[in-house]
Structure 1
Amino acid sequence: MTVIGYHASHEQIPPGMLLAAVRLAETVGFDAAMCSDHLAPWSTAQGESGFAWSWIGAALARTDFPIGLVTAPGQRYHPVITAQALATVEEMFPGRFWAALGSGEALNEHVTGDPWPEKPARERRLLESVTAIRRLLAGERVTVDGEIRVHDARIWSLPASPPPLLGAAVSDDTATWVAGWADGLITVGSDAAATQRTREAYRGAGGRGDAVLQIHISLEDTLSRALEVAREQWSHATAPAEVMWDLQQPEDFEALADPTDEKLRQAVLISGSAEALAERIAHAARGFDHVYLHHVGTDQAGFLRRCGTELLPALREVL
Structure 2
Amino acid sequence: MRIGFHASHEQFPPSTLLSLVHQAEAAGFDAAMCSDHFAPWGLAQAQSGYSWSWLAAALATTSLRIGVVTAPGQRMHTAVAAQAVATLEEMFPGRFWAALGSGEALNEHITGDAWPAKADRETRLRAVVDVMRRLLAGERVDHDGAVRVHDARLWTRPAEPPPLLGAAVSRETAEWVAGWADGLVTVGHDPEALRRVVEAYRDAGGRGPCAVQVHVALGATEDEALGVAAAQWRQATVPGHVMWDLEQPEDFDARSHPGDDEALRAGVLIGADADAMAARVAELAGCGFDEAYLHHVGVDQSVFIARAGDELLPALRRRT
TM-score range, shorter chain: over 0.9
Give 1:30-45 correspondences, 5 Å limit: 30-45=29-44
Q: How far has the Cα of 1:270 moved from its partner?
A: 0.3
User: For each residue in 1:196-246, what CA deviation from the matched residue of structure 2 results, as whole angstroms up to 9, or x when unmatched?
Assistant: 100010000000000011100000111110000000000011011100000
Output the amino acid matched with 1:64.
S
Q: Describe the SS at the equivalent of 2:16.
A: helix
Q: Describe the SS at the equivalent of 2:233.
A: helix
Q: Following TM superposition, where does structure 1 have runs of at least 4 consecutive aligned residues deviating by more than 4 angstroms?
A: none
Find the counterpart in structure 2 of residue 206 from structure 1: 205
Q: Describe the SS at the equivalent of 2:75.
A: coil
Q: How far has the Cα of 1:101 moved from its partner?
A: 0.3
Output the amino acid matched with 1:306.
R
Aligned partners of 2:256 and 2:54: how far apart in 1? 30
Aligned partners of 1:306 and 1:146: how far apart in 2? 50
Aligned partners of 2:235 and 2:64: how far apart in 1? 31
Output the amino acid matched with 2:281.
I
Find the counterpart in structure 1 of residue 262 from structure 2: 262
Give 1:241-252 correspondences, 5 Å limit: 241-252=240-251
Query: Does 1:275 find its partner at 2:275?
Result: yes
Find the counterpart in structure 2 of residue 66 from structure 1: 65
Find the counterpart in structure 1 of residue 297 from structure 2: 296
Find the counterpart in structure 1 of residue 95 from structure 2: 96
Find the counterpart in structure 2 of residue 317 from structure 1: 318
Q: How far has the Cα of 1:14 moved from its partner?
A: 1.0
Q: How far has the Cα of 1:87 moved from its partner?
A: 0.5
Output the amino acid matched with 1:75.
Q
Pair 1:68–1:182, CA change in 2 (3 A)? same
Give 1:1-150 correspondences, 5 Å limit: 2-150=1-149
Query: Does 1:176 find its partner at 2:175?
Result: yes
Q: Describe the SS at the equivalent of 1:186.
A: strand
8 Å Cα contact 1:25-1:304 kept in structure 2: yes
Aligned partners of 1:231 and 1:282: how far apart in 2? 25
Find the counterpart in structure 1 of residue 187 from structure 2: 188
Output the amino acid matched with 2:317.
R
Q: How far has the Cα of 1:279 moved from its partner?
A: 0.8
8 Å Cα contact 1:43-1:236 kept in structure 2: yes
Q: How far has the Cα of 1:258 moved from its partner?
A: 1.8
- Share of identical aligned residues, percent? 64
Aligned partners of 2:29 and 2:46: how far apart in 1? 26
8 Å Cα contact 1:176-1:205 kept in structure 2: yes
Question: Tell me, which stretches of 5 or more residues in structure 2 are unaligned?
Answer: none
Aligned partners of 2:318 and 2:200: how far apart in 1? 28
Find the counterpart in structure 1 of residue 307 from structure 2: 306
When normalised by structure 1's length, the TM-score is 0.99
Output the amino acid matched with 2:122.
E
Output the amino acid matched with 2:155.
W
Q: How far has the Cα of 1:285 moved from its partner?
A: 3.9
Q: Describe the SS at the equivalent of 2:41.
A: coil
Bigger Cα displacement from structure 2, 207-216 vs 254-263: 254-263
Aligned partners of 1:56 and 1:181: how far apart in 2? 24
Q: Describe the SS at the equivalent of 1:94.
A: coil
Aligned partners of 1:235 and 1:192: how far apart in 2? 22
8 Å Cα contact 1:192-1:285 kept in structure 2: no
Aligned partners of 2:296 and 2:40: how far apart in 1? 16
User: For each residue in 1:102-138, what CA deviation from the matched residue of structure 2 results, as whole angstroms up to 9, or x when unmatched?
Assistant: 0000000000000000000000000000000000000
Pair 1:285–1:238, CA change in 2 (3 A)? farther
Q: How far has the Cα of 1:280 moved from its partner?
A: 1.0
8 Å Cα contact 1:73-1:101 kept in structure 2: yes
Question: Tell me, which stretches of 5 or more residues in structure 1 are unaligned?
Answer: none
User: For each residue in 1:239-287, what CA deviation from the matched residue of structure 2 results, as whole angstroms up to 9, or x when unmatched?
Assistant: 1110000000001011111221111000000001100111111123422
When normalised by structure 2's length, the TM-score is 0.99
Q: Describe the SS at the equivalent of 2:143.
A: strand
Q: Root-mean-square deviation (CA), in Å? A: 0.6
